[in-house]
């Protein structure tokens, strides 16, 4: 019987090793060398890492979440967003709005150099736009620019040129629109239409070496796919003296735990991919707390109710659901990243209005709505409610796998039963975008460009309803809302526009095609010696104009672990993790 | 009886029996004694001051999970699901494997349908022609293939040899194809066909993928038994084949089959956890150990109890069934 | 013998073709849209539709099936990278083309050429680890049958068989990489040295899991061998104990073990899905998982074909080796 005891002991040791958890203390942050000197210093390489990977770098094919971070350093556009998400000049010095909003005239800076040394002129701007909107490009965002004259023709292959975009001289570009479109400028701030070097040619190709007019350039061999990319300073960048950094380097497919270790010891300069427990630990540590900041919330999470299918064709049931969800509990699934939500547009998106009354938890009101809907429910006896189970579709291994379990508990309290159907992600997309399939699904939206139309139009306008690829997953149709959204889209006066969108949000909140549950926000921690870095409302990890103030002693490297750790492990340190 | 005596003496059998008995007791009694409901989040007591789930305490014996439910209650309920899945999937897979293995083994070497070489070559050529040239020559060649199966031509062609499609060959080739087929794609395809992953899907997946090894072993055993005197005697007495298989062959492979089945329960419990790992496990909020282990993995820096508790249970149950199988094998074989 | 080889070869080709065909049809009829996976969850229907046309997904399944096999093996210019042959792997005039990945927008042949050596090195390392541990501890246990060392080896191997690979992997990862930080947590690293370091944990994980099985196999085989007459004779003739064990018994016991090694290698060459996931080893296993999750048809097909060829080839080799050793098999 001896060996059974040995085996048992081995198992016990193994379990103890796993059960120890991660030892608590964080290393102190690497200090800045001259914390009181605000003058930017030149030089140095900034190191970033990500859990994910990136496949193609090309403004005409932005397919991965990581690409915009790299694109932002390589490509400069006619316009960009400032720190509050407003559109500001970049390659264009200024622009004029003509013909009552049907024509935009951009005046380029003279003498801007691409990375290959060639001058950037109006022809390059026209060529790049045409290249990105030509149907041979696998551009997932082309339709953002459908209001440009000639867009339909080029997409339908009736024309090879984009008629509405013309060079009016060496430094002047005209863009004509079919109709007044207030979303044109906000969408133009994206990277999709940014000018690319002549080497890119007139048509998209998968083998092009990225080249633009941004502050950093990619040298041949600088991108080791699936592992690492290094961008070096573009000395001909049009803003004098910028950028300060010699280079930026991203490592890909790096485990969150590895990132954390590297960040702690100064081998990484910014950190965003936290595990939940780690994030809370960094936020609690007084030495690290001042070095962290939340990014603007750009993502809203919700429960979508299919308004074409029973019981959600009844607005009272939808209102009941919206009032039954305890959003503070949802937040506790990931307290470091979630915030309770009640409005469709996250507070940090330009044009949001957090002061509007949103959906909120009120169990009494929810029961009242159930009664009005004709399905009164008595919580004391558990009698009544909607008699059939509601088919709820989610995908595997996402946040929604947890939110639905809380939702089911909340809805049970008002007499609604969920029949949860878990599918894999591709099937989830197919099922939820198809008409008449799912009664209820977990849904969400992430800002493409900072404007209320980016949230409300694709999600709740009846034009976004399709039999197959419907972005309006609630299949919600309301002529009053449609009219408001159409008017707001054509309204160029900001205060009037804001009023229209406020009213539109009011309708969505009240009619509740979606019950909003949470905003997702990322937490950024940076090193004390990373200066001039501020989270941006559109671009994640926009470090193009940051600078490093790092003492010579603070060398990167992992602290070696000595025998004491080994003994600690075998000794089975228990207690609080 | 010798077998019982050997079983009683076998240490592995005894340890395995104790482990399995403990787990069964946990599955039966656990949900009854658990002080909390496995499906209800407790935001009053399960949230620590750091806004994390609480660890093992007097209230929550094995800590709370990521949405603040009692892990002990969930593990206890999960024991029922995991054990039932393990046992039922084993029954499915073993009976399918035994059926295929017995048929293949019994008919091994028996004559099947002979497909002439001309037919095979013409069929292959028709396929290649369709791929590279076009429909017309493909149809022509397919016609040749059909023609060459017609009795007068086929008879003349038989001297040239060809492929023999007998029960054994066809079944074993099917096993080959399934073994070469990627497990994950199969899981997804089945999941997609059912449109959801319910207990039935999981059992189906495990059953469909789990019988291949059994079939091979059973086939080998049957091939040995087939030529033994009592089988040939039964055959010469004119007993029907199903009767021979049921009365004479099956009882003689039941020993190895029981061993395979016992070990297979362990394999199935493992496979279910791998399925959860690959994103094809049970639907929430139903707890299974495999799925709980998968969830715990993400949280092990902050809430390690979510990882080690299901891990220990999976390890214990797999070990238990393996030991049981070990003991049975020794007792039946030695 | 030639006839036997030819027949087995024909079957092997048939098995690969059947597997590939089933996989093609399966992945084509899954109710989901690869174009949507390329365009992203928020893409508008117009953009999704355009990408669908670009990928050729608007055509019926049988047209795509035919195109796939026509392209799979075709003739072309011997010079590499001629236009229209960008995604080909060439062997003089014979081209192998699996098309272009929807997601990565690179030739699948090139992607597989990146991944296969990594998976092969992992498979080889794992097989070496499990064979080394298995043979050593199995022999050790067999020569000390019934003693504590034997029980310990058997118990350890039972625990090993009972633990899922990802549990072993997580444990190793936690202890060696997370706590002691002597090895990288996961990934592949940047330099050859880092590649080697990153290989250790996944190889150990697979190795330990497999070694348990090998230990039992070697132990059983050795016990049978050690009971045989020739061992007694050799001992009587004065050959040392170690000499008998190593030179005679082990050599005879190795035959079945080599068979198992061959089959294992074939299975591992398709990629160890779970282990590669745990350690994010960029091999075929993790490639096939992402491909299936992204509905990246060409990559799925590439992985299926490589897996099937590996399994079939290795079992063919094992069969042939058997046939060469045992004339009775050849008759089948």
Query: What residues of B are in contact with residue C163 (Cβ under 8 Å)?
Result: 315, 318
Q: What is the mean pLDDT of residues C324-331?
A: 57
Return phi, psi of residue A222, to 5°. -80, -10
- What pLDDT is recorded for position C243? 76
Would A483 be classed as within a structural domain?
yes
Q: Do B308 and A19 lie within an 8 Å CB cutoff?
A: yes
Same domain, A175 and A263: no
Other Cβ atoms less than 10 A from the Cβ of A310: the count is: 12
Would C285 be classed as within a structural domain?
yes
Identity of the residue in B15, B283, B311 whose CB atom sits nearest the CB atom of A18: B311
Mean pLDDT taken over chain A:
86
Q: Do C151 and A2 lie within an 8 Å CB cutoff?
A: yes
User: Pick from A140, A172, A200: which residue ends a domain?
Assistant: A200
Write b or e for each residue in B198-218: b if 16 or more Cβ atoms lie within 10 A of its Cβ, otherwise e: beebbbbbbbbbbbbbbbbbb
In whole angstroms, give the CA distance from residue B104 to residue B117: 24
Torsion of CA C278, C280, C284, C288, to 10 degrees: 70
- What pLDDT is recorded for position B152? 65
Query: What residues of B are in contact with residue C289 (Cβ under 8 Å)?
Result: 184, 278
Would A452 be classed as within a structural domain?
yes
CB A125 within 8 A of CB A167: yes
CB B16 within 8 A of CB B321: yes
Query: Which of A274, A284, A402, A575 should one mutate to test binding to chain B, selecting the residue with the greatest count of B CBs within 10 A?
Result: A402
Total domain count, chain C: 1
Q: Does C322 touch chain B (CB under 8 A)?
A: no
Total domain count, chain A: 3
**Chain C: residue whose CA lies nearest to B280:** C293
Q: Which helix (H) or strand (E) holds B201?
A: helix B199-210
Same domain, A398 and A305: yes
Q: Does A486 touch chain B (CB under 8 A)?
A: no
Query: What residues of C are in contact with residue B319 (Cβ under 8 Å)?
Result: 158-159, 162
Query: What residues of B are in contact with residue A396 (Cβ under 8 Å)?
Result: 279-280
Would C144 be classed as within a structural domain?
yes
**Chain C: residue whose CA lies nearest to A454:** C42
User: Minimal Cα–Cα distance from B1 to chain A, Å?
Assistant: 25
User: Pick from A159, A177, A200: which residue ends a domain?
Assistant: A200
Would C82 be classed as within a structural domain?
no
Angle of CA points C239, C242, C247, to nearest 5°: 75
| Residue with token string 């999704």 | C48
Q: Does A4 touch chain B (CB under 8 A)?
A: yes
Would C43 be classed as within a structural domain?
no
Q: Does B220 touch chain C (CB under 8 A)?
A: no
Helix (H, G, I), strand (E, B) or coil at B152: helix
| Residue with token string 């081209």 | C95
CATH code, domain carrying C239: 1.10.3720.10
Would C36 be classed as within a structural domain?
no
In whole angstroms, give the CA distance from residue B300 to residue B48: 16
In whole angstroms, give the CA distance from residue B270 to residue B85: 11
Would A154 be classed as within a structural domain?
yes
Query: What residues of A are in contact with residue C51 (Cβ under 8 Å)?
Result: 138, 140
Query: What residues of A are in contact with residue B323 (Cβ under 8 Å)?
Result: none
Closest CA to A384 of A432, A461, A320: A320
Q: Which helix (H) or strand (E) holds B192?
A: helix B183-194
User: Minimal Cα–Cα distance from A206 to chain C, Å?
Assistant: 7
User: Minimal Cα–Cα distance from B64 to chain A, Å?
Assistant: 12
Same domain, A449 and A545: no
CATH code, domain carrying A442: 3.10.105.10
Cα–chain-centroid distance for residue A107? 31
Same domain, A64 and A89: no
Same domain, A228 and A135: no
Would C155 be classed as within a structural domain?
yes
What does each C-alpha distance from A441 to A340, A402, A446 come to in angstroms? 19, 13, 17
Cα–chain-centroid distance for residue A197? 28
Higher pLDDT pick, A353 / C241: A353
pLDDT > 50? residue C180: yes
CB C215 within 8 A of CB C141: yes
Helix (H, G, I), strand (E, B) or coil at B304: coil
Would A18 be classed as within a structural domain?
no
ipTM score of complex: 0.81
Query: Which of B17, B67, B311 should one mutate to test binding to chain A, selecting the residue with the greatest count of A CBs within 10 A?
Result: B67
Same domain, A229 and A308: no
Q: Do B188 and C30 lie within an 8 Å CB cutoff?
A: yes
Under 8 Å CB-to-CB from A226, ≥6 apart: which residues? A53, A252, A253, C282
| Number of DSSP helices (H) and strands (E) in chain A, helices first | 16, 23
In whole angstroms, give the CA distance from residue B54 to residue B69: 10
CATH code, domain carrying A229: 3.40.190.10
* Residues of the domain holding C185: 109-330
Query: Which of A15, A258, A331 should one mutate to test binding to chain B, selecting the residue with the greatest count of B CBs within 10 A?
Result: A15
In whole angstroms, give the CA distance from residue A185 to residue A104: 9
Looking at chain C, which subunits does it touch, using at least 3 CB pairs closer than 8 Å as the criterion? A, B
| Residue with token string 């893409």 | C43
User: DSSP class of residue A18?
Assistant: H
| Number of DSSP helices (H) and strands (E) in chain B, helices first | 15, 2
Partners of B203 in the β-ladder: none
In whole angstroms, give the CA distance from residue A294 to residue A275: 15
Q: What string of DSSP letters covers C231-278?
A: HHHHHHTT--HHHIIIIIIIHHHHHHHHHHHHHHHHHHHT--HHHHHH
Same domain, A227 and A319: no
- What pLDDT is recorded for position B224? 79
Beta strands in A381-510 (DSSP E): 383-384, 389-395, 417-423, 440-446
Q: What is the mean pLDDT of each run of 10 residues along chain B (334 residues)?
A: 75 87 91 86 86 84 87 91 90 90 80 72 83 81 77 60 72 80 72 70 83 84 79 79 80 82 84 75 82 80 84 88 83 66
Would A29 be classed as within a structural domain?
no
In whole angstroms, give the CA distance from residue C127 to residue C246: 21
Identity of the residue in C41, C155, C174 whose CB atom sits nearest the CB atom of A3: C155
CB B40 within 8 A of CB A329: no
CB A510 within 8 A of CB A343: no
Query: What residues of A are in contact with residue B305 (Cβ under 8 Å)?
Result: 19
Q: Does C215 touch chain B (CB under 8 A)?
A: no
Closest CA to C139 of C250, C305, C45, C34: C250
What does each of the 577 residues of chain A score in pLDDT, given as a tens digit? 444 444 445 444 444 444 444 445 778 888 888 888 888 888 889 999 998 888 889 999 888 888 999 999 999 999 999 888 899 999 999 999 998 889 999 999 988 999 998 999 999 999 999 999 999 888 889 889 999 998 988 888 888 888 889 989 899 999 999 999 999 999 999 999 999 999 888 888 888 899 999 999 999 888 988 788 999 999 989 888 889 999 999 988 887 877 888 888 788 899 988 888 888 888 888 888 899 889 888 899 999 999 999 899 999 999 999 999 999 999 999 988 999 999 999 988 888 888 899 999 999 999 999 999 999 999 889 888 899 999 999 887 778 889 999 999 999 999 999 988 888 888 888 889 999 888 999 999 999 999 999 999 999 999 999 888 899 999 999 999 999 999 999 998 889 999 999 999 999 999 999 999 999 999 999 998 998 888 888 898 888 899 888 876 544 444 444 333 333 333 333 333 2
Identity of the residue in B11, B197, B300 whose CB atom sits nearest the CB atom of A1: B11
Would C85 be classed as within a structural domain?
no
User: Pick from A200, A234, A252: which residue ends a domain?
Assistant: A200
Same domain, A343 and A456: yes
Would A12 be classed as within a structural domain?
no
What does each C-alpha distance from C17 to A60, B162, B184, C12, C306 come to in angstroms? 38, 19, 19, 9, 12
pLDDT for C142-158, tens place per residue? 888 777 878 788 778 87
Query: What residues of B are in contact with residue A423 (Cβ under 8 Å)?
Result: 191-192, 195-197
CB A543 within 8 A of CB A271: no
Tell me the residues of chain B between 109 and 148 that have a Cβ less than 8 Å away from chain C: 130-132
In whole angstroms, give the CA distance from residue A342 to residue A346: 9
Q: Does A483 touch chain B (CB under 8 A)?
A: no
Q: What is the largest CA-CA distance in chain B?
A: 88
Under 8 Å CB-to-CB from A62, ≥6 apart: which residues? A68, A71, A139, A140, A141, A191, A192
Cα–chain-centroid distance for residue A403? 20
Q: Does A409 touch chain B (CB under 8 A)?
A: yes
What 3 state SS string does A123-179 have? HHHHHHHHHHHCCCCCCCCHHHHCCECCHHHHHCCCCCCCCCEEECCCCEEEEEECC
pLDDT for C35-48, tens place per residue? 888 888 888 888 89
Q: Does B84 touch chain C (CB under 8 A)?
A: no
Would A30 be classed as within a structural domain?
no
Same domain, A68 and A84: no
Return phi, psi of residue A61, to 5°. -150, 75
Same domain, A450 and A335: yes
**Chain C: residue whose CA lies nearest to B314:** C163
Would C195 be classed as within a structural domain?
yes
Same domain, A438 and A504: yes
Q: B289: which 2 tokens?
A: 């150990």
Query: Which of C29, C35, C44 should one mutate to test binding to chain A, selecting the residue with the greatest count of A CBs within 10 A?
Result: C44
Query: Which of B164, B180, B208 should one mutate to test binding to chain C, selecting the residue with the greatest count of C CBs within 10 A?
Result: B180
User: DSSP class of residue A559?
Assistant: P
Q: What is the largest CA-CA distance in chain C?
A: 86
Query: Which of B185, B262, B264, B289 should one mutate to test binding to chain C, selecting the residue with the greatest count of C CBs within 10 A?
Result: B185
Would A303 be classed as within a structural domain?
yes
Same domain, A145 and A234: no
Cα–chain-centroid distance for residue B22? 24
**Chain A: residue whose CA lies nearest to C181:** A561
Q: Does B186 touch chain A (CB under 8 A)?
A: no
| Residue with token string 């046939």 | C323
* Residues of the domain holding A573: 35-75+214-294+523-577
**Chain C: residue whose CA lies nearest to B277:** C274
In whole angstroms, give the CA distance from residue A348 to residue A296: 5
CB A185 within 8 A of CB A489: no
User: Minimal Cα–Cα distance from A534 to chain C, Å?
Assistant: 27
């Amino acid at each position: 019987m001896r060996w059974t005891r040995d085996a048992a002991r081995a198992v016990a040791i193994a379990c103890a090793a796993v059960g120890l958890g991660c030892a608590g203390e964080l290393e102190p942050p690497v200090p800045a060398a001259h914390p009181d000197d605000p003058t930017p210093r030149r030089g140095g390489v900034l190191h970033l890492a990500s859990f994910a990977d990136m496949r193609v770098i090309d403004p005409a094919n932005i397919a991965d979440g990581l690409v915009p971070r790299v694109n932002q350093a390589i490509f400069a556009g006619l316009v960009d967003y400032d720190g509050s998400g407003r559109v500001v000049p970049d390659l264009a010095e200024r622009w004029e709005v003509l013909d009552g909003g049907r024509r935009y005239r951009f005046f380029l800076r003279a003498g801007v150099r691409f990375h290959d040394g060639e001058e950037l002129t109006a022809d390059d701007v026209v060529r790049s736009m045409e290249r990105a909107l030509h149907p041979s490009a696998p551009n997932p965002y082309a339709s953002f620019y459908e209001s440009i004259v000639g867009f339909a023709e080029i997409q339908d292959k009736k024309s090879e040129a984009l008629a509405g975009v013309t060079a009016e001289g060496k430094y002047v570009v005209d863009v004509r629109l079919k109709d007044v479109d207030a979303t044109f400028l906000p969408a133009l701030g994206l990277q999709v239409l940014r000018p690319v070097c002549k080497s890119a040619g007139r048509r998209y190709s998968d083998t092009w070496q990225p080249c633009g007019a941004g502050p950093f350039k990619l040298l041949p061999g600088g991108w080791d796919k699936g592992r690492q990319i290094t961008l070096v300073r573009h000395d001909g960048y049009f803003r004098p003296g910028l950028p300060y950094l010699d280079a930026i380097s991203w490592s890909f497919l790096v485990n969150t735990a590895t990132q954390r270790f590297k960040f702690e010891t100064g081998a990484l300069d910014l950190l965003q991919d936290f595990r939940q427990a780690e994030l809370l630990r960094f936020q609690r540590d007084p030495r690290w707390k001042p070095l962290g900041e939340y990014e603007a919330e750009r993502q809203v999470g919700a429960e979508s109710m299919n308004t074409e299918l029973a019981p959600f064709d009844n607005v009272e049931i939808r209102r009941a659901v919206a009032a039954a969800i305890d959003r503070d509990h949802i937040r506790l699934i990931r307290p470091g990243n979630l915030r309770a939500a009640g409005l469709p547009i996250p507070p940090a998106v330009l044009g949001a209005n957090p002061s509007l009354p949103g959906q909120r938890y009120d169990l009494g009101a929810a029961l009242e709505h159930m009664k009005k809907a004709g399905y009164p429910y008595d919580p004391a006896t558990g009698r009544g409610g909607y008699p059939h189970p509601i088919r709820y579709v989610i995908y595997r291994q996402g946040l929604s796998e947890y939110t639905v379990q809380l939702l089911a508990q909340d809805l049970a309290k008002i007499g609604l039963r969920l029949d949860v159907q878990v599918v894999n992600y591709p099937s989830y997309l197919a099922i939820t975008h198809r008409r008449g399939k799912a009664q209820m699904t977990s849904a969400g939206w992430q800002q493409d460009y900072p404007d209320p139309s980016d949230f409300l139009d694709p999600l709740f306008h009846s034009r976004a309803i399709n039999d197959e690829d419907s972005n309006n997953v609630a299949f919600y149709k309301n002529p009053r809302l449609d009219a408001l959204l159409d008017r707001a889209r054509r309204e160029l006066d900001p205060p009037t526009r804001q009023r229209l969108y406020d009213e539109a949000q009011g309708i969505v909140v009240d009619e509740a095609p979606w019950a909003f549950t949470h905003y997702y926000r990322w937490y950024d921690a940076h090193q004390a010696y990373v200066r001039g870095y501020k989270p941006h409302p559109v671009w994640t990890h926009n470090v193009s104009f940051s600078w490093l103030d790092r003492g010579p002693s603070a060398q990167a490297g992992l602290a070696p672990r000595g025998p004491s750790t080994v003994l600690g492990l075998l000794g089975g340190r228990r207690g609080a993790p | 009886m010798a077998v019982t005596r050997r079983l009683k003496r076998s240490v592995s059998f005894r340890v395995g029996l104790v482990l399995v008995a403990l787990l069964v007791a946990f599955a039966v009694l656990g949900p009854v004694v658990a002080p909390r409901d496995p499906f209800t989040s407790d935001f009053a007591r399960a949230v620590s001051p750091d806004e994390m789930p609480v660890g093992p305490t007097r209230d929550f014996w094995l800590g709370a999970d990521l949405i603040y439910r009692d892990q002990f209650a969930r593990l206890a309920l999960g024991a029922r699901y995991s054990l039932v899945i393990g046992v039922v999937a084993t029954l499915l897979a073993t009976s399918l494997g035994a059926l295929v293995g017995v048929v293949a083994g019994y008919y091994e070497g028996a004559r099947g349908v002979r497909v002439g070489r001309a037919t095979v070559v013409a069929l292959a050529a028709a396929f290649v022609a369709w791929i590279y040239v076009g429909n017309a020559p493909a149809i022509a060649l397919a016609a040749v293939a059909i023609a060459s199966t017609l009795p007068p031509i086929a008879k003349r062609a038989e001297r040239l040899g060809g492929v023999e499609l007998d029960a054994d060959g066809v079944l074993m080739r099917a096993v080959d194809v399934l073994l070469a087929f990627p497990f994950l794609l199969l899981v997804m395809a089945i999941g997609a066909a059912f449109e959801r992953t319910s207990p039935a899907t999981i059992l189906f997946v495990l059953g469909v993928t789990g019988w291949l090894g059994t079939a091979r072993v059973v086939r080998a055993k049957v091939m040995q038994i087939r030529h033994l005197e009592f089988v040939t005697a039964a055959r010469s007495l004119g007993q029907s084949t199903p009767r021979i298989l049921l009365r004479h062959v099956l009882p003689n492979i039941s020993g190895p089959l029981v061993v395979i089945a016992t070990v297979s329960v362990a394999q199935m419990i493992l496979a279910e956890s791998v399925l959860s790992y690959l994103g094809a496990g049970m639907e929430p909020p139903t707890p299974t150990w495999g799925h709980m282990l998968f969830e715990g993995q993400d949280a092990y820096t902050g809430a390690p109890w979510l990882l080690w508790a299901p891990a220990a249970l999976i390890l214990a149950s797999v070990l238990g069934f393996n030991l049981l199988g070990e003991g049975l094998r020794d007792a039946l074989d030695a | 013998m030639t006839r036997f080889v030819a027949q087995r070869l024909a079957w092997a080709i048939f098995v690969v073709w059947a597997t590939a065909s089933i996989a093609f049809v399966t992945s084509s009829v899954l109710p989901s849209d690869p174009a949507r996976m390329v365009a992203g969850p928020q893409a508008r229907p117009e953009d999704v539709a355009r990408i669908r046309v670009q990928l050729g997904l608007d055509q019926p399944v049988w047209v795509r099936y035919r195109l796939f096999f026509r392209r799979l093996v075709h003739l072309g210019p011997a010079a590499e990278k001629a236009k229209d042959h960008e995604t080909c792997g060439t062997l003089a005039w014979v081209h192998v083309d699996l098309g272009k990945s929807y997601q990565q927008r690179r030739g699948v042949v090139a992607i597989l050429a990146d991944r296969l050596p990594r998976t092969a090195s992992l498979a080889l390392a794992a097989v070496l680890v499990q064979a080394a541990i298995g043979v050593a501890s199995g022999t050790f246990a067999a020569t000390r049958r019934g003693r504590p060392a034997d029980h310990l080896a058997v118990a350890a191997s039972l625990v090993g068989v009972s633990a899922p690979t990802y549990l072993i992997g997580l444990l190793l990862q936690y202890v060696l990489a997370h706590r002691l930080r002597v090895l990288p947590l996961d990934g592949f690293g940047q330099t050859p040295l880092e590649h080697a370091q990153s290989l250790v944990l996944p190889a150990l994980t697979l190795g330990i899991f497999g070694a348990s099985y090998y230990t039992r196999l070697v132990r059983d085989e050795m016990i049978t061998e050690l009971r045989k007459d020739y061992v007694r004779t050799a001992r009587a003739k004065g050959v040392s104990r170690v000499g008998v064990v190593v030179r005679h018994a082990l050599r005879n016991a190795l035959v079945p073990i080599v068979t198992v090694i061959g089959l294992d290698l074939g299975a591992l060459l398709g990629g160890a899905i779970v282990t590669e996931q745990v350690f994010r080893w960029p091999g075929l296993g993790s490639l096939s998982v992402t491909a299936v999750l992204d509905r990246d048809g060409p990559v799925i097909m590439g992985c299926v074909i490589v897996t099937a060829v590996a399994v079939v080839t290795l079992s063919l080799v094992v069969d042939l080796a058997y046939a060469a050793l045992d004339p009775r098999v050849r008759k089948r």
